[in-house]
Chain A
Amino acid sequence: MQTTVPDLSTITNEIWTAMFGIGVEPADDGADHARGERVVTGVVQLTGDAEGAVTVQCSDRLARRATATMFAVDVTEVSDEDLSDCIGELANMTGGNVKSALDGHNELSLPSVTVGRDYEVTVRGSRVVQRRAFDAAGDTLVVTLLTRDRA
């Protein structure tokens, strides 16, 4: 497993500031989305010397704001397809920056996106090594790095 642990706070802040003009403030590590809230999750998997995944989870409202900014349209014009594209790219960017900070040779999967309420994201055989919660202009954003220990 890698000896370097990427700093999710720095990576997340850089991405959200550059891409959306939304500054993210650290929240309590235990902060999470409210029960029943519609949440959008982007996931990319890491394979190679490091095995694991990076997840980016935000409220539907925050995801729509971010998507509207990316496409330069009004938030009311955001389609589900565009929302999935945006959050997938966000997971890809976050995972790509995590990968760049890891030691060794690693590959990044294409992103996948899930939307729903009251669900849990697990990556088989992996554990959370870093979880960061943020306040993004009043909405909760959670970024997590999971790694799978080698047998």
Chain B
Amino acid sequence: MKILVVDDSKAMRAIVKRSLASLERFSGAEILEAADGRQALETCEQEAPDLVISDWNMPEMSGIELLQALGGEGGRPTFGFVTSESTPEMHERARASGAAFLVSKPFTPESLGGALDGAV
């Protein structure tokens, strides 16, 4: 499995990667990184990841803009948010745009794993 982790914070990308590595079912996954939505979009085109785990608020292109740019359900990877902001409005926008989950920061490997269990 190929997983793309998108966050403008290098520290947060490291934490998401460590959390994934601690989850047995993702231990053999190839983890890719992008620092904003635009980089992530290019990586998606080149690498075709199976799963994208993205921050919401980023420079250049936000997470929701990335999700919308990836297009409809057909060829789009499974997509979920890990974000510090978690309003009902954001949950609704994420769901309406096709996100499989939204995990709020701070999170634990267990809470991320729980969200992923229902998505992939």
B49-66 contacts to A (CB < 8 Å): 57-59
How many residues on the B side are at the interface (Cβ–Cβ under 8 A)? Answer: 22
Answer whether residue B92 sits at the interface, using C-beta atoms and an 8 A cutoff.
no
Chain B residue at smallest Cβ distance from A16: B106
Contact between chains at A70 and B15 (CB < 8 Å): yes
Residues of chain A within 8 A (CB-CB) of B84 are 92-97, 108
Answer whether residue B119 sits at the interface, using C-beta atoms and an 8 A cutoff.
no
Identify whether the interface residues of B are mostly helix, strand, loop, or mixed.
loop
Residues of A at the B interface (CB closer than 8 Å) are 14-15, 18-19, 67, 70-72, 82, 85-86, 88-89, 92-97, 99-100, 105, 108, 110
A92-B57, A110-B57, A110-B59 known; A71+B14 contact, CB < 8 A? yes
Residues of chain A within 8 A (CB-CB) of B15 are 19, 70
A96-B86, A99-B85, A99-B87 known; A18+B108 contact, CB < 8 A? yes
